[in-house]
Structure 1
Amino acid sequence: MSKISNFFKGGSSSSSKSKHHRSRGGPSPQEAIHKLRETEEMLTKKQDYLEKRIEQELATAKKHGTKNKRAALAALKKKKRLEQQLTQIDGTLSTIEFQREALENSHTNTEVLKNMGYAANAMKRVHENMDVNKIDDLMADITEQQDVAQEISEAISRPFGETFDEDELLAELEELENQAEEEGMMTMGGLPSVPSSSLPSLRPGQRATTRRRIEEDQDMQMLASWGT
């Protein structure tokens, strides 16, 4: 049994206890937070009231001044008492704010842990019917079937029919070419002798001029044939 399950089993028992106490009059976290906020609002309003009273007593003391020391001193005494109350309310508000924030954080953490527990239980149910060994066997089967599929693809793509030695075919082709050359030489009565001296090489400009002359001669021959 996981620690999370133990935690939430304990949490469920504590929840049942909290419900039992709540039935006796104990507040829920949301109710306590709401009450603390109401108290903060009440004390804040009282702060505003005391600050106005302090301003009034201070104005009274200034009004009487040394002309009516008794009334002025009484107003200052009231101002001091009001300031003490205001200081106490400031401290009380700080304490209530700290308590409210701690309660809100505790409530948030409880909700987060509860949801994490739900997620953990859901994952546990998903993995209940899974066996790691079976998964390894399944992956091995998948790999094996992929290899079989690859072999089948290679067998299907292999050329169908007889296979020939490419070197033998090239040798036969060369023999046929030699025979064709020999027959050509016999038909022409022998090939003309190749001149020993090399022909002068033409520059690119000369080659272009020679090609243009040949084309012009061909055009003139064509015009002459049309005129006859």
Structure 2
Amino acid sequence: MEALARMFGAKKGEPPTPQMAIQKLRETEEMLNKKSEFLEKKIDQENALIKKHGLKNKRGALNALKRKKRLEKQLQQIDGTLSTIEFQRESLENAQTNTEVLKNMSYAAKALKAAHANLDVDDVHDMMDDIEEQNVIAQEISDALSTPFGMNQELDDDELLAELEEMEQAELDEQLLDTNTPVNLELPTIPDVPNSTIKSKEKDDESDLRELAEWLN
């Protein structure tokens, strides 16, 4: 374990930090990728030799094929190692992210606790009650200042109507008692009805009576 810590650059007795481990893993990935590229070129060269020898030089072709198989096996091992390193690096990066998030959340929690250290819920409620009381007083003062002089008491509509009726009745009584006020006693004029219209109406009535008598018989 100590050898592993020294490999990642940590001091003796101290575990490597995630940043140091991630950096080392990236360097290892870069080295393996370069080696993988080198092996791929070597495999291409062996393929070319196999095609060149063919059936003309079976031994040369066979040796080239054996080297190619060994190179392909190394390349396969490197690919597996790269997958393992990539998975480990991603795990470390996620752990580092989670650590940073938790650190910041803890920092914010401490700041929130410090902000509430000098606050008390009862004091806040008392302060809000005082604010509400002062708002009510301010509204009453504003209403008092905005009311014109002589209008401090609200007038009742029923009282006003009663007073108006008394005034109208008094005016009527005054007109009746005033002898100088002529009283209009003229009757409406009845329009004259022509005699011809009356006679025609009487004839119609007699005709209706005769028709009714005949129907009854």
TM-score when normalising by structure 1? 0.66
AA at the equivalent of 1:87:
Q
CA shift digits 1:101-158 (9 cap, x unpaired): 1111111111111111110110011000011111122222223333334444555556
Q: Which residue of 2 aligns with 1:178?
A: 172
Take 2:106 and 2:49, find their aligned partners in 1: how far apart are those partners? 64
Paired residue secondary structure (2:180): helix
Q: Any gaps of 5 or more consecutive residues in structure 2? A: 1-8, 192-217
| Pair 1:110 & 2:99 matched | yes
| Pair 1:65 & 2:54 matched | yes
Pair member with larger Rg: 2
Query: Does the aligned pair in 2 maintain the 1:60–1:75 contact within 8 Å?
Result: yes
Q: 1:43 deviation in Å?
A: 0.9
Query: Does the aligned pair in 2 maintain the 1:57–1:78 contact within 8 Å?
Result: yes
AA at the equivalent of 2:188:
P
Paired residue secondary structure (2:36): helix
Q: Which residue of 2 aligns with 1:160?
A: 152
Superposed, 1:51-62 pairs within 5 Å as 51-62=40-51
Take 1:87 and 1:71, find their aligned partners in 2: how far apart are those partners? 24
Q: Any gaps of 5 or more consecutive residues in structure 1? A: 1-20, 199-228
Take 2:146 and 2:190, find their aligned partners in 1: how far apart are those partners? 57
Take 1:30 and 1:184, find their aligned partners in 2: how far apart are those partners? 115
Query: Does the aligned pair in 2 maintain the 1:54–1:79 contact within 8 Å?
Result: yes
CA shift digits 1:29-76 (9 cap, x unpaired): 222211211111111111111111111111111111111100000000
How many residues matched?
A: 177
Q: Which has the higher contact order (CA 8 A, sep 6+)?
A: 1
Superposed, 1:60-139 pairs within 5 Å as 60-139=49-128
Query: Does the aligned pair in 2 maintain the 1:185–1:191 contact within 8 Å?
Result: no
